[in-house]
Amino acid sequence: MYKNPIQRILFVFTFHFCIELLTTNSRVNKCLIEEFRQVQQREEILKKVIQSFINMATYESFSDIYEGASLTGSLNQGTFIASFFKENLKYKGSVITRQIDIDCLMNLRLDLKKPRQCLREIKGKPGYVQFLTRCIPDKGTWYVFIEKATKYIRPVMFKSKVKDRLNGAESNTKEKGVQVFFLYHFLKRGIIFKSINVKVSGKTSKSTVKHIFEIQKDEKLYLTTELDYAFMFKVFYRPRVMLNFLARTQYNVSREISEYIYVLSKTSREQKHNINTTEWTYSFSHIENFILNSFSDAKKLVYVIFKSIFSKSLKFLDEEIVTSYIVKTIVLWRFEDSNLIYFDDWLNDTRIWETIDILFTDLQEALKEGFLKEYFIPEINVLKRFDKSLRDNCQKRIKNIRTNLKTILLISEISEARNILEELLLLFYDGQTYQTLEAFVHNLDPPIHHYSLFH
């Protein structure tokens, strides 16, 4: 009946709905976890779809600059929907935030002959390195982004050039393209609308360049997609921080991926105002992805619920400082403990909630002490930007919500998150068929220029 695999999957899913929803109160909790289980399955599919899309897009357009791109962050690590539960003021008519964050690791093509001699560690800042300009080979394309006048390469310059490209004339073309695509998508899906407006822009953040797509339907914000590009290159050696980590970790990290480390172009707060400084950091993101993907389904479920509750009930205290990196750090430390195996039961809701409660205890401890060791480089305090009053506020809030963790998230919110995932799958599906149409549109007079989401 359904020729397309995604349609077939969605069709099967609709039969898994939650019967308990209509019965007693205690069952509502059980149902909540059931909703999450379903979301978890859809996330897995979406991850595969988007991953193959990213591979294709970078392969086609930037193969001289990038070795490839891969999915990282929450979609890669099974906690994609958690950010939907942030306080929602912008999206009228929706109970959750319709903001899609897709993190991409852009793997720069850069073969350093002697990486050790190109990178200088910075004293007093574990994990930070300076990268010598003279190491950039004269061949290759991406060095056009690099300023050769300074001794060390400044990521802030590099990133702002990428950002400028995203904001230039190209963004107008993209806006038109996305608008036509949504027109197609809405018409195809029978979604009624009066107008579609699209705004495309580029912005730099501390570690990434963001490519932001804001879609308005009938003059109200409908969907925001932020593609977050982190620029890194691989070096095949193990710096001290890596050796320390490998000696310490209880996770079974495969040999293959522990042979190299990434160097990430980062911009610190100070650096934004001082072009003389330069900051790159070692990044363990490939190892982080490896570990989090090796979690059992039960652990993944605990992680996504923990993070969702955190997003909804703590983030608003300070969006900039109360970040989900804290959640990840707590999870990485706690799940390293092999005694936790007792809780590893995907189908036992009692144990799922017990484990979530353990994680909140860990978080309370860390806030009380004002110190949370970064998982890969424990000299770093993940809570260093928290002042006393923010720590107190967080602790109070946690004490409050812990009395009834099960009631923080609403079934209606989670179902809506699931709907968004399904809509995204349909968008990607329509994107494919749209390309055929696009070829036709391209030949119209006047032509509408080539468009694709990722290049």
Residues interacting with ligand NAG, by CB under 6 A? 252, 254, 274, 276, 348, 350-351
Report the C-alpha gap between 292 and 76 in whole angstroms: 9
| Residue number, 318 or 349, with CB nearest to ligand NAG | 349
Q: How far is the CB of 351 from ligand NAG (least distance, A)?
A: 5
| Residue number, 268 or 415, with CB nearest to ligand NAG | 268
Q: Name the burial class of residue 78, with classes exposed (0-12), middle (13-18) and buried (19+) by CB atoms within 10 angstroms of its CB.
A: buried
Neighbour count for residue 444 (Cβ, 10 Å): 8
| Residue number, 342 or 440, with CB nearest to ligand NAG | 342
Place of tokens 């305090």: 381
Q: How far is the CB of 74 from ligand NAG (least distance, A)?
A: 25
| Residue number, 156 or 162, with CB nearest to ligand NAG | 156
Q: How far is the CB of 354 from ligand NAG (least distance, A)?
A: 6
Q: How far is the CB of 20 from ligand NAG (least distance, A)?
A: 16
Cα–Cα nearest to 145, from 174, 108, 117: 108
| Residue number, 252 or 436, with CB nearest to ligand NAG | 252
| Residue number, 351 or 449, with CB nearest to ligand NAG | 351
HSE-up of residue 184 (Cα within 13 Å, Cβ side): 20
Report the C-alpha gap between 216 and 172 in whole angstroms: 16
| Residue number, 350 or 432, with CB nearest to ligand NAG | 350
Contact 60, 440 (CB under 8 A): no
| Residue 195 backbone phi and psi in degrees, to 5 | -150, 155
The residues facing 99 across adjacent strands are: 224
Report the C-alpha gap between 428 and 434 in whole angstroms: 10
The residues facing 216 across adjacent strands are: 197, 221
Q: How far is the CB of 166 from ligand NAG (least distance, A)?
A: 26
Q: How far is the CB of 268 from ligand NAG (least distance, A)?
A: 14
Q: How far is the CB of 266 from ligand NAG (least distance, A)?
A: 18
Q: How far is the CB of 336 from ligand NAG (least distance, A)?
A: 13
| Residue number, 25 or 276, with CB nearest to ligand NAG | 276
